Amino acid sequence: MGDGLRVTVVPRGGSSLRELLHDAGLRLPSDCGGAGTCGKCRIQVLDAEGECSVLACQYAPTAPVVVRAEIGPIGQIRRIGRGTRTGTAALRLAADIGTTTISLAAVDRVRRRVVARRETLNPQMVFGTDVMSRIAAGTKLRRTRLEPEMLWFMDEYGVSRKHPILTVGNTVMAHFLMGRAPASLGEFPYQSRLAYGKRLSHRRSGLWFEMLPLLGSFVGSDCTAAILASGMYRTPRLSLLVDAGTNGEVVLGNRKRMLVTSTAAGPAFEGATLECGSLAQAGAVKAVRHEDDRFIPEVVGGGEAKSICGSGVLDAVAEAVRVGKVDASGRVLGCARLEVGQGPKPVFMSQADLREVQLAKGAIAAAIRVLLAEWGASAGEVERVHVTGRFGSSMNPRSATRIGLLPSLPLARVKRHTNLALLGAVRAALDPALIDEAERFAANCREVMLSSHPQFEHSFITSLQLVPWH
């Protein structure tokens, strides 16, 4: 079978190879949640009849097989700071449980600083990249616990399990952490089984979780934490907050009131669902410029391009529109696909990829338009735009305004943040009085449901065009 990781897998009750590998602590990409449509879990299998290539999510071995693949462990992506094992009672854990990643921070309440940070992939990703696939997975997710990584981190850095973990996350992740099934979020009228506007608390697996308030059916405590960290709830100026993740969350407001909404942006801007897409990892194209009739990529870690992540996707589309390789309707002109990186295998964006990006861009831009209409304000009245999330923190604001993802505002008004949700959780862990503040401004938040809003469909169709706002 050549070089690479080899694993012997024993069959179990008709389980797919993907599920068997997951239970062994090994992760395969699975953007489609096991539907067999994305093709990213294809691996080489050696069985009694020889070697063959299979989709792991569609293949259920009936006898032991050997697989070879670039399989990653469910675990660390990046570690920031090593910390020490000599913990004190002053240490607390802050956690942002995202659909894609889990971000953890050990904070010292005496020294008032973060002593260690860690990011890992959410192990539920094997069931799909979006929250609806997690809801659909139902009871299968009971085998995929979110606590083990937290327990390891707490033991590694000496964080006591006696104190609450200040946790934030979207409403689906909140249900899992609070011990509630999220099935009600997957069907009309999309109601949460958890209360809005008040802090939540739950004990499980020997841990005590305390969560900032949820703001709506799909506007979670991660959005509350981002508002807290941005400070927009304290200022009289009109501010816009955009978390352009898989479950895009948008907030418009000031210290008097805030409008909040969520939109199904999908995972296109996080690299998933695209043929050559990936997270921002080594070998991923993170930025693109077009010169001398070719795309010139900037690659994470240098070297040859192997994939393309969200910020690179945005640049590639914006540059292609600028030089006339893609028209305003999203149609690729003069070629079958956009070649954005050369390597052993070309890194490209297909016409289907462009459509995925349009849908994601249209969903986010339409959400912004609807909130502006509800507020009775024009885009030009927005004095500050906070952009956050895995994609938002690294995106090029010029590219975002060029294709109309963000309003056409002076770029100085746009402020990018690495992870406002985790920052808000850290600040609340350091100062519990901020939880009270979060409850107070949560009372002044109103959720706008896009699915039933009379202007959303028109705004969405308008926003599909790859043109700046007018």
pLDDT in tens, 56-74: 888 888 888 888 655 544 4
Report yes or no: 229 and 441 within 8 Å, Cβ to Cβ: no
Return mean pLDDT, the chain.
Answer: 87
Residues 95 and 49 in one domain: no
The pTM for the full model equals 0.83
Write out the two tokens for 114: 């973060």
The 8-class DSSP code of residue 174 comes to H
Q: Under DSSP, is residue 322 helix (H, G, I), strand (E, B) or coil?
A: helix
Greater confidence (398 vs 342) lies with 398
| Boundary of a domain, candidates 57, 73, 89 | 73
User: Backbone dihedral region of 22: left (phi > 0), alpha (psi from -120 to 50 degrees) or beta?
Assistant: alpha
Residues 68 and 179 in one domain: no
The pLDDT of residue 457 is above 70: yes
Write out the two tokens for 224: 């509350």
Q: pLDDT above 90 covers what percent of the chain?
A: 56
pLDDT of residue 29: 66
Q: Where are the alpha helices (DSSP H) in 182-266?
A: 221-230
pLDDT tens readout for residues 72-98 = 444 443 344 444 444 567 899 999 998
Report yes or no: 361 and 393 within 8 Å, Cβ to Cβ: no
The pLDDT of residue 7 is above 90: no
Residues 95 and 178 in one domain: yes
Residue 439 belongs to some domain of the structure: no
The pLDDT of residue 184 is above 70: yes
Please calculate the CA angle 366-370-373 and round it to the nearest 5 degrees.
Answer: 140
The pLDDT of residue 411 is above 90: yes
Residue 235 belongs to some domain of the structure: no
Write out the two tokens for 405: 């993802």
DSSP string, 28-74: ---TTSSSS-S-TTEEEEEETTEEEEEETTT---SS-EEEEE-PEES
Greater confidence (210 vs 218) lies with 210
Residue 188 belongs to some domain of the structure: yes
| Boundary of a domain, candidates 47, 73, 99 | 73
Q: How far are the Cα atoms of 236, 316, 363 from residue 351, in angstroms, in the given order?
A: 44, 13, 19
Greater confidence (456 vs 100) lies with 456
From 41-50, 86-95, 214-223, the region with the lowest mean pLDDT: 41-50
From 375-379, 385-389, 392-396, the region with the lowest mean pLDDT: 392-396
Amino acid of residue 400: A
Residue 385 belongs to some domain of the structure: no
Among candidates 238, 308, 275, 218, which has minimal Cα distance to 32? 275
Residues 150 and 57 in one domain: no
N-to-C CA span, the chain: 57
Name the pLDDT band for 191 (thresholds 50, 70, 90).
Answer: confident
Name the pLDDT band for 31 (thresholds 50, 70, 90).
Answer: low
Interatomic CA distance for residues 137 and 49, integer angstroms: 33
Residue 136 belongs to some domain of the structure: yes
* CA 435 to mean position of chain CA atoms: 24
Put the strands of the sheet holding 42-47 in their side by side order: 5-9, 65-69, 42-47, 50-55
Residues 179 and 207 in one domain: yes
Residues 80 and 206 in one domain: yes
Interatomic CA distance for residues 398 and 222, integer angstroms: 26
Average pLDDT of the segment spanning 184-197: 86
- Specify the number of domains making up the chain: 2
Residues 30 and 141 in one domain: no
Residues 101 and 65 in one domain: no
Residues 63 and 164 in one domain: no
Name the pLDDT band for 139 (thresholds 50, 70, 90).
Answer: low
Greater confidence (242 vs 127) lies with 242
Interatomic CA distance for residues 280 and 270, integer angstroms: 8
pLDDT of residue 32: 65
Residues 192 and 86 in one domain: yes
Average pLDDT of the segment spanning 236-249: 90
Tell me: cis bond preceding 189? Omega within 30 of 0 counts.
Answer: yes
Structural element, H or E, at residue 239: strand 239-243
- Widest Cα–Cα separation across the chain: 70
| Boundary of a domain, candidates 41, 73, 105 | 73
Query: Which residues 6+ apart lie within 8 Å of 374 measured at CB?
Result: 252, 259, 448
Interatomic CA distance for residues 390 and 134, integer angstroms: 19
Residues 99 and 118 in one domain: yes
pLDDT of residue 25: 63
Residue 152 belongs to some domain of the structure: yes
Domain that holds residue 51: 5-73
The pLDDT of residue 17 is above 60: yes
Average pLDDT of the segment spanning 272-282: 85
* CA 326 to mean position of chain CA atoms: 27
Average pLDDT of the segment spanning 39-68: 78
Average pLDDT of the segment spanning 225-230: 97
Residues 26 and 84 in one domain: no
Bridge partners (DSSP) listed for residue 382: none
Residue 106 belongs to some domain of the structure: yes
From 85-89, 308-312, 446-450, the region with the lowest mean pLDDT: 85-89
The pLDDT of residue 342 is above 80: no
The pLDDT of residue 375 is above 80: yes
pLDDT of residue 75: 42
Residue 391 belongs to some domain of the structure: no
